[in-house]
Structure 1
C-alpha cells in the first residue's frame, strides 16, 4: 500500500473498528469515517485514538459535500466501505434507514470516489481500490445442502438484504461502466469483540449474565455459517492488497451451526466461566419466528483461498471462547453502548 491513508467507512462499528485497529497496528494510516449511529462507538477504536496514523471524521456517507471533502483532503490510496445499517429486525420495522445508508450512501461514496480517482496520476489510478463489504444474505436462503458461491443468483428476502443487494449492483456497475477499480466481498455471520448487543451471540451472553430469558426464534433450527471477525479482517486485507478489480470474493468461516447449537455452546462456556449461574441453558426461551426468516446460509470460500491464500484461523469453539471471555471482561462497554442505543 501507499503511504496515503485507507479511508474506512463505518470504522466505529463492529467489523469496521476491527479493520481500523488491524490496519493501524500494522502501520497503515487510516481515516475512520463514521456517523456514530446507535451501533457506532468511538470506544471501539479507543486503542488507536492517540496514534498519529489514525484520524476520525464524524461524517455521514449520505452527505455528498462532506464525502467529497474527505477525498480531496486526505487523498486516500483505497476505500474499505463498511458503513451500513445491518440488523434484519430493524430493517423490518424501519426499512427507510436501510435504503438511505446502504443504497444512497453507497452511491454517494462511489460518485465521490470516481471523481477523485479520475484526478490521480496513472500509477495511483492503477493502484487505487474500492472494497465494498457485503453479506451472504443477498443470496437468499439455502436448503439443507449446498453453499453460496460468487456466482449464486441474488434472491434477497428482507429489507436489509435487499438494500445490500442494491448496493452490490451499484458497486459492480461503477466498475463496468466507469472503470473504477471496485471489489465486492460477501461474508457469512460475523462474531467477536465489540459487536453491538442486538445480534445473536452478544444478546445471549448479556441476557445469560443478567439471568434474563434468552430468546431463540422459532425452533432454533435455522443454520448460519459463523466467521470470527479477526479472520474476516484478514480476508478483507487480502482482497484489498491482492484482489482483482471487478471480482467478488465470498468469505466464510466453514463453521455451520444452528442457532440453538450456538446458544447452547455459549451457555456451556458461561457455565465454566461463571458457574454460579449454571446451567445457563435453563434461561433458553423460544419466541415467535421473525417474518421471512431465512432457513440456512453457508459460504464456499474456495475462491479466496485459492487466489489469495486466505483461510480462517479460528474454529467456532476457539473463536467463541475468545468472544465470551471478551464480553466477560468488558461488561461496562456493553452496558454503556446499550444505554446509549436506547437513549
Structure 2
C-alpha cells in the first residue's frame, strides 16, 4: 500500500486529487497544508480518518517536511502561491513558497529516496497569440510573465536540476486552467457562478478575448495518477483536455446554463500583463501513458461545477464578501 504525502492538499486542485485518490485507490494520504486563505480544511470533509491524515504546516519548514517525507513512498507537490493578481500586489510569498518550499521538499525527497511529482502550470511558457495555430509542448521554451509564473518556472527548473544532479526520482506536469469543486471564489469561473447565485452581474476583464485551455480538476487528478504510476523519471508531461475558450465565451456559457441572459455581465478593468492565450498539446501524456479526459465536453463539466456551487454555499459563502470587496476596490 502506497503512502502519499500531498502538499497543498486542502487547496483547490490538491483537495480534488485527495478525493480522487481515496475514491480510486487503496493508498494512504497525509495532507500537508499551511491553510492560507486558499486552503480550506472543509475541502477534505467526509474523507475517511483511517486513510487521510491532515497536518497543518509550511512546506518551507525543513524539520516537518523531513519527518513527513521519511514516512512516505511518494510526494505529490501541489502547494503553491498561485494567483496572478496577488503576485502583482506582493511577490514575496511566491518566492517563499514556490521556490524555497519546493527546494525544501526536494532535499527531503533526496535524503529519503522518495518518488516526487511536481505540479506546475502552463503559464511558465508565457502566452500565445490569439491566431497562433501552435500549442505548448514539453519542448516549448519558458517565457513567464508574472511573479507567479516566474516562480513556478523556477521551481520546475529546481526539480530538473535535482533529477540530473542528485538522482531524485521526480516527474513534472504542467497543466492548463482547472475548474471544478472546491475552487476559491477569487478565481474566474467560481467567481462568476457565485455572483449569479448572489444576484450579482458577472465581471469580465477587458474585452474578454483572453483564451484559456480549461480542464476539469477530476481529469487533472487522473492524469497525475497516470504519471505517478507509469511516468518516466525525469520527464515532463503536459496535461490538457482540448478545452480552449475565451473568457467571454465562458461567462456567456455560465449565464446560459444558469438561465440568465447571455449579455448580463459587466466589463471591468483588465489585469496588468494579462496573458492572451494558453493552449496545451497533451499528445505525449495520451500516447505514452494512455490517459484520456473524462470531461471532454466543457459544457458538461461546467454544468456539474455549477451544480456543486449551488449545493455547497456553506463552503464558499464565508469568503465571498471579502473577495468582492477586494475586487471592488480595484475597479474589478
Match of 1:142 in 2: 128
- The residue that corresponds to 1:331 in the other structure is 313
Gapped runs of 5+ residues in structure 1? 118-127, 272-277
Query: Displacement of 1:337 after TM fit?
Result: 4.2
Conserved in 2, the CA contact under 8 Å of 1:221 and 1:260? Answer: yes
Identify which of 47, 53, 56 aligns with 2:54. 56
1:109 aligns with 2:105: yes
2:12 matches 1:14: yes
Change (3 A) 1:219 1:340: closer
Instruction: Provide the secondary structure at the position in 2 that maps to 1:333.
Output: helix
Query: Which whole-Å CA distance do the structure 2 matches of 1:339 and 1:8 have between them?
Result: 30
Specify the alignment match of 1:152 in structure 2. Answer: 140
Say whether 1:310 aligns with 2:310: no
Instruction: Please give the residue correspondences for 1:169-184 in structure 2 after superposition, counting only pairs within 5 Å.
Output: 169-184=157-172
For 1:172-321, what aligned pairs fall within 5 Å after superposition? 172-271=160-259, 278-279=260-261, 281-314=262-295, 315-321=297-303
CA-based RMSD: 1.5
Report if aligned partners of 1:12, 1:36 keep a CA contact under 8 Å in 2: yes
Contact 2:115 2:170 in 1 (8 A): yes
Per-residue CA deviations over 1:164-202 (Å, capped at 9, x if unaligned) read 000000011000000001100000000001101011100
Aligned pair partner of 1:71 in 65, 69, 72: 69
Q: What is the DSSP-based 3-state SS (H/G/I as helix, E as strand, rest coil) of the residue aligned with 2:81? A: coil
Alpha-carbon distance, 1:340 to partner: 8.4
Kept in 2: contact 1:38–1:340 (CA 8 A) = no
Structure-to-structure mapping, 1:74-113, within 5 angstroms: 75-113=71-109
Partner of 2:39: 40
2 CA distance for matches of 1:53 and 1:331?
27
Contact 2:109/2:115 (8 A) holds in 1: no
Judging changes above 3 Å, is the alpha-carbon distance between structure 1 residues 46 and 340 closer, same or farther for their aligned structure 2 residues? Answer: farther
Q: TM-score, normalised by structure 1?
A: 0.91
Q: What is the distance in 2 between the residues matched to 1:41 and 1:290?
A: 26
Q: Secondary structure of 2:214's partner? A: strand
Secondary structure of the residue aligned to 1:133 is: strand
Match of residue 125 from structure 1:
none
The alpha-carbon deviation at position 209 of structure 1 amounts to: 1.5
Deviation string for 1:126-148 (max 9, x for gaps)?
Answer: xx421000000000011122100
CA contact (8 A) 1:41 1:337 kept: no
Moved more, 62-71 or 27-36: 62-71
Q: Gapped runs of 5+ residues in structure 2?
A: 327-332
Question: Aligned partners of 1:154 and 1:42: how far apart in 2?
Answer: 34
Asked if the contact 1:211–1:283 (Cα under 8 Å) also holds between the matched residues in 2, the reply is no
Instruction: Tell me the CA shift for residue 207 of structure 1.
Output: 1.1
- Can you list the C-alpha shifts for 1:37-75, whole angstroms capped at 9, x where unaligned? 101111111121x43111111111011111112123xx2
SS of equivalent residue, structure 2 residue 258 = helix
- Partner-residue secondary structure (3-state), 2:97: helix
Following superposition, which runs of at least 4 residues in structure 1 exceed 6 angstroms of deviation?
339-343
330-339 or 257-266, which deviates more: 330-339
